[in-house]
Structure 1
Amino acid sequence: MPKNLSRRGVLRAFAGGSIGLAVASLSACGATPKPAATTAAQAGATSGGKAFLNYWTGWSGFEFDALQKIVDKFNAANPDVFVNMTTVFGQYDKVLTAIAGGNPPDVVSAVWLQQLVSMAARDGLIPLEAYADKDKIDGSAYFKNCWDAWHYDGHLWGLAITVNANVLAYRRDIFKEVGLNPDTPPKTITDLDAETKALDKIDANGNIQRYGLMPGGLFWWGLVFGGNFYDENNKKVTANDPKIVEALKWMLTYAKKLDITKVEAFQAGFGDYMSPQNAFFVGKEVISQVGEWFISFVNKYAPGLDYDFMSAPAPDGGRPDCTTFGGSVFTIPKGAKNPDASWRFIKFVSEDENMGEFAFTIHNIPPKTKVANESRFIDDPKFKKCVDLYTGKNVFGPPKTPVTDFYFTKMDEAESAVKHGTKEPQAALDELTKLVQDELDKALKH
């Protein structure tokens, strides 16, 4: 199961795409890479003087089509600018390579939030606060944590038009089948452990036929347990926070209980995630880590399914109703030929009407409070549960470091090593802390 719980994170996980080398190349290129030769269109103007913007997006399929409607709307309303949208779905390294090579698109929203600070710190983006100040965009319309996440080192580096929440989807019908009350899902880790055990179905040979939950994604669960991954004031990586160690030890109990090798053999037989054969839909997985976007998956592939959402149960001293968020951010790369026109486009797609239209079509949460609380979103009780998480105190974006993408990659590796029994939780997280701190120290020197 993909550990990045946004809808686009799921798609990104299936598409692949190596970005590490491209991020490194940004650093290697220095502060101001020289632009490569460009065509007239790439230079920011057509022969008739109209500004021509190349916009690269990570959305594809029906999401691309939904966004194209907004692009067409902008082009119709702005006769002096033409936006040409291209998807780089599955080719995310292309974005960073283009910026590093000095021949970037004019607008890009295939920049993941966990990469934003890295790109900004390496002088790959244009700060936007002057534009925002001029247009009186001060963050008051946005969820506070979202607005804060797009800032680093005193600058605003981008805006998003969709965000996601982390929740657990659970099969109400299977809860009933084993004698659990689906109207009162577990609220604590102790209750979750007991109920998932009741939901597990293992045959006489010890093979898994169904499991209640296989927790994955240490970043979310570490926060749920009350941990902190980064001390921003002191620039210190804290992956070995005792609460995070506790979370990883807890995740290990599931890998041992179910036997990680049998779990992987079981998961190898799962049907396509985006199909009626999704493991949750066919009852092989009773509780699944998802987001609000999952509602549209169910509607499309398993209409009528008896399921609901719950927030992650927390231990004593943990964080109830905890969610992380990430996703993509609209940015203007360094070297864009017409940043004023680029900003006009970003401002346009961020307007309430356009943001709401797109977010509703793809079933994501708008990062503006008023838009997110429109009846078309919150009339669905499941969607409302996700929106309500953003009004709480336990809402977290990725750590603001120039090496967060590296941090997340190595965190996944540490989690896997622990689950497979090759490392102990404390040792794995001590090693992770040192490894990422060394990378961070090097990045901060540049």
Structure 2
Amino acid sequence: MTTPLFRVRDRRGRVLAAGMLALSLAACGSGGASGDGGPTTITFSYLWSGPEAQALEKIIAEFNASQRKIVVKGVSSPDTQKQLASMASAGGAFDISDNFGSNVGAWAAKGVLEPLDEYMSKDGFDTADIVPAALKQMTYEGKTYSLPVATHSFQLLYNKKLLAEAGLKEPPKTTEGWAAAIAKLTKVDGDGNLVQLGLGNPESNSTFTTMGYQFGGDWYDTAGRPTPAAPGNLAALRFYTDNVTGKYGVDKVRKFTSGFGEYASPQNPFYIGKVAMVVDGEWQARFIGDNAPKLDWDVAPLPHPAGRPELAGTTQLTASTLFIPRNSKRKAQAWEFMKFLMGKKAMAEFTFALANLPSRLSLLDDAKYDGIPRFDPWLKALKSPNVKVLASMPYSQEYTTDLTAGFDQVTRAATAPDQAMRSVAEKAAGYAK
């Protein structure tokens, strides 16, 4: 998000499908101080599950052991609809939770998030160490409503073996070189059917929004108003149609991609050599090790137009955030736990376990991340002045929905990029006021 386009399981392994787990008072507990003056119990309801939840529970245990005033009870509940319903009720089921930076504006506008500025000011919590682009998404109308416990960015992943077979000694550095590489890495059989694609994963919102930034575009103006038809955005969409669907035929591309395996599985098309290059996030450093350990791959900065060297190092950032619901009865205790999670030790431990990027600038050179293969390019990317982030506004989800529809029209060749984005702009004019 953003905003990434989440499927049943998003790219970081979180199960977000509604109805899978319910936030119930019985499961989460109402917390509170014990009758004998003992510690206050707070509930941390988080979206992570599986190995990610296990890593988080370890950090929760460390916090509980570090002091005697607060006991945190962790509950894995990967259902954002239940999460929001609890926050809108008179008595919530949890005291701290996580979500994505793209939702901060919408949820703050609903009045369901607790502003954090007074807590930060009182404790001298310094945000200077937070990646600026990530912090930008945490605020709404001058107040801070969330903090980024992890960040995510996008780079160019490529199959080294396939590039070598195509006579390419290195990954493309410019978008012009990228176009040439896509052509060399796309193969068809004797019947004209695709058997290998030079560039994959165009069905994801994050691919197209990231590409828009690569070409010098932006999806919001400085006032936070949607700008889907910005010239750079259109150039990115035309790049895809010119070099993939328009060149090889949308029907043949869709026929080929319809047989692709699941994203987070050994059948991912990039893992098995059906796709030579993808624009993807840092979690792939762990996913590939788990699902395709023999894959000969590497990662490089995203290409930029040859005539725009100032765009070198461009990437899109998304954030996993922590927040306190407005209806929590134990906000002070929740803040103490949030500070612990935002500390260097806990953040490094957590992001390393998930192969996510830290939000603290001081952790980007931490030797701990040397243990994740090919992770350094993503870490270095967060130091770039060209880290871009989608604005988080009350209408961001509506905008994402309209962009998704527009991108789908482009990938299906139902509508030309210019027309598709003008249509989105017309819709945006109705909710951007």
Q: Is the 8 A contact 1:106 1:339 kept in 2?
A: no
Q: Give me the whole-angstrom Cα distance separating, in 2, the residues matched to 1:162 and 1:436.
A: 30
Match of 1:251 in 2: 240
- What's the counterpart of residue 303 of structure 1? 293
Q: Deviations over 1:337-391 (max 9, x none)?
A: 1100000010011111111111111111111112221112257672111111111
Counterpart of 2:286, as a letter, is: S
CA contact (8 A) 1:214 1:255 kept: no
Residues 197 and 133 (structure 1 numbering): CA distance in 2 closer, same or farther, change over 3 Å? same
Which has the larger displacement, 99-108 or 111-120? 99-108
SS at match of 2:260: coil
Structure 2 partner of 1:362: 354
Counterparts of 1:130-279 in structure 2, within 5 Å, are 130-181=118-169, 184-214=170-200, 216=202, 217-233=207-223, 235-253=224-242, 254-279=244-269
* Structure 1 residue identity aligned to 2:49: S
Report SS of the residue matched to 1:326. strand
Inter-partner Cα distance in structure 2 for 1:351 and 1:151: 20
Q: What runs of 5+ residues in structure 2 fail to find an aligned partner?
A: none
Q: Can you give the 5+ residue segments of structure 1 that lack an aligned partner in the other structure?
A: 19-35, 442-446
Q: What TM-score, normalized by structure 2, do the two folds share?
A: 0.90
**TM-aligned CA deviation for residue 38 of structure 1:** 10
Counting only pairs closer than 5 Å after superposition, residues 12-161 of structure 1 correspond to structure 2 as 15-17=16-18, 41-42=29-30, 44-49=32-37, 50-89=39-78, 91-161=79-149
How far apart in 1 are the matches of 2:227 and 2:262?
Answer: 36
Cα drift, residue 47 of structure 1 = 4.0
Alignment of 1:284-363 (within 5 A): 284-315=274-305, 316-317=307-308, 319-363=311-355
Percentage identity across paired residues of the two chains: 27
- The correspondence for 2:419, drawn from 418, 427, 438, is 427
CA shift digits 1:61-119 (9 cap, x unpaired): 10100000011111122322221111222x21111121122333444443211101111
Report how far residue 207 of structure 1 moved: 1.6
Tell me if the contact between 1:164 and 1:326 (Cα under 8 Å) persists in the aligned partners. yes
Query: Is the 2:158–2:278 Cα contact (8 Å) retained in structure 1?
Result: yes
Match of 2:429 in 1: 437
Partner SS, residue 429 of structure 2: helix
Secondary structure at the aligned position of 1:10 is classed as coil
Distance 1:367 1:414 in 2: 31
Could you tell me how far 1:325 is from its partner in structure 2? 1.6
Q: 1:13 to 1:168 in 2, by over 3 A?
A: farther
Match of 2:11 in 1: 10
TM-score (norm 1): 0.87
Instruction: State the distance in 1 between where 2:70 and 2:219 align.
Output: 43
> What CA distance in whole angstroms lies between the structure 1 residues aligned with 2:173 and 2:412?
28
Using the alignment, how far apart are the partners of 1:156 and 1:312 within structure 2? Answer: 31
CA distance in 2, matches of 1:116, 1:199: 40
Contact 1:108 1:331 in 2 (8 A): yes
Shift of 1:148: 2.5
Q: Secondary structure at the match of 1:230?
A: coil
Cα distance in 2 for residues equivalent to 1:397 and 1:415:
19
Distance 1:208 1:3 in 2: 30
Distance 1:252 1:41, change over 3 A: same
CA root-mean-square deviation: 2.6
